[in-house]
């Protein structure tokens, strides 16, 4: 296997859909949000991405069933108050090496661009390594106007203290010279596993920005479920990823998404 490829499961017709990325990262924050959206809004999987840039392994679930490494595209028609279409990306891994990240994120951007994506949100957690009373949402955007919009919604704009490493950053960077605007939303989290509180904070904001209607309360249940379901291997994987990608900043903010 030499090339990243996308297996199209269903032909769909979307009009300037909003693209939401939530690949695995700190505290499963983004992933939990996206999985909750997919479930509650009944988004449907229409494509899977496989890549030689993923870790060379498989996961095994509780019943001994093998799960290959993959990213999965879901779509949603006419969601929210303004009846927009959506593409939501989740998965059990990100590209492993730096070049692998470019390879996979490039393939993702190429794919969603074909569906007319002009706007994206990338979701993640921002690990502080400390207990968090009431999680803030940190954010950054590709344009001044969009950054202002985030601020108006209560997002703390990340200032000069850091960058955004991994898919959540890179997808936005690649979007810049494709004419795709975007923003990254990061829920504040200690960085330990399956942080439903940080996810709720991000989801609330997203509901607010996108004017979609989702039951937030059920997210806690989903978090519990996920805690049980994800294999120890996935947890180890994530811990490893965090160790690799994270360098402590002055305020000890950590982010990978």
Nearer to a copy of itself, 48 or 242 (CB): 48
Question: Are 211 and 83 spatial neighbours (Cβ–Cβ below 8 Å)?
Answer: no
Give the C-alpha separation, 243 to 152, whole Å: 34
Stretch that binds a copy of itself, among 11-19, 126-134, 138-146, 198-206 (CB under 8 A): 138-146
Minimum distance of a copy of itself from residue 138's CB (angstroms): 9
Give the C-alpha separation, 152 to 206, whole Å: 13
Minimum distance of a copy of itself from residue 236's CB (angstroms): 5
Give the C-alpha separation, 130 to 22, whole Å: 23
- The Cβ of residue 240 has, within 10 Å, a number of other Cβ atoms equal to 12
User: If you ran DSSP here, which 8-state letter would residue 17 be given?
Assistant: P
Helix 218-229 crosses helix 29-40 at what angle (to 10 degrees)? 120
Nearer to a copy of itself, 116 or 163 (CB): 163
Q: Binding residue for a copy of itself (CB under 8 A) from 2, 83, 114, 134?
A: 2
Q: How many residues bind a copy of itself (CB under 8 A)?
A: 74
Q: Which of residues 55-114 bind a copy of itself (CB under 8 A)?
A: 55-66, 68-69, 95-103, 105-106, 109
CA Rg, the chain, in Å? 17
Nearer to a copy of itself, 161 or 208 (CB): 161
Minimum distance of a copy of itself from residue 137's CB (angstroms): 12
Minimum distance of a copy of itself from residue 140's CB (angstroms): 4
């Amino acid at each position: 296997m030499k090339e990243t490829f996308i297996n199209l499961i269903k032909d769909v017709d979307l009009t300037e859909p909003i693209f939401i990325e939530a690949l695995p990262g700190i505290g499963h924050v983004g992933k939990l949000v996206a999985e909750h959206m997919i479930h509650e809004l009944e988004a449907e999987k229409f494509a899977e991405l496989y890549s030689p840039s993923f870790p060379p392994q498989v996961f095994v679930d509780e019943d001994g069933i093998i799960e290959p490494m993959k990213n999965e595209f879901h779509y949603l028609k006419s969601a929210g108050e303004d009846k927009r279409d959506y593409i939501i990306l989740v998965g059990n891994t990100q590209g492993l090496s730096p070049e692998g990240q470019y390879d996979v994120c490039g393939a993702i951007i190429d794919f969603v661009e074909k569906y007319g994506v002009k706007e994206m949100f990338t979701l993640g957690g921002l690990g502080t390594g400390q207990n968090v009373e009431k999680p803030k949402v940190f954010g950054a955007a590709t344009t001044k106007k969009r950054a202002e919009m985030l601020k108006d919604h209560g997002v703390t704009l990340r200032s000069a203290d850091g960058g955004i490493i991994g898919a959540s950053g890179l997808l936005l960077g690649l979007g810049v010279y494709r004419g795709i605007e975007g923003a990254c939303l990061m829920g504040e989290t200690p960085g330990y596993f399956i942080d439903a509180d940080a996810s709720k904070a991000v989801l609330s904001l997203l509901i607010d920005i996108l004017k979609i209607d989702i039951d937030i309360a059920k997210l806690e249940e989903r978090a519990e479920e996920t805690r049980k379901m994800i294999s120890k291997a996935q947890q180890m994987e994530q811990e490893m990823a965090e160790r690799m990608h994270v360098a402590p900043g002055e305020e000890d903010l950590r982010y990978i998404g």
